[in-house]
Amino acid sequence: MESAVTLGWKGLKLKLQQGLDSAGSFYNQLVSTIGEAVGVADGKPFWNGYLGQWQIAVNFAAGCKSVLCDWLIVV
């Protein structure tokens, strides 16, 4: 049985938006071509002290990946 905290994060729609101004033209073009990356959170976010950012496991159509999060929206 999963904890209430873990269940609370299930169903989060994760939207990633990362600094296009400082990422360079390759990333800018990639995001412009693909649009926003949308997936479903699997678990709860954790703090990555080395990178100084939150990360979360996300189920995308192509599989589950651990990704950096700038912000989350609960749906």
Each residue's pLDDT expressed in tens, for the chain with a length of 75 residues:
556 555 555 444 444 444 444 455 555 555 555 555 566 777 777 888 887 877 777 776 666 666 666 655 555
- Give the whole-angstrom CA distance, residue 67 versus residue 56: 6
> pTM (2 decimals)?
0.38
Q: Per the structure, how many domains does the chain have?
A: 1
Domain that includes residue 38, residue range: 4-73
Backbone angles phi, psi at 74, to 5 degrees: -85, 130
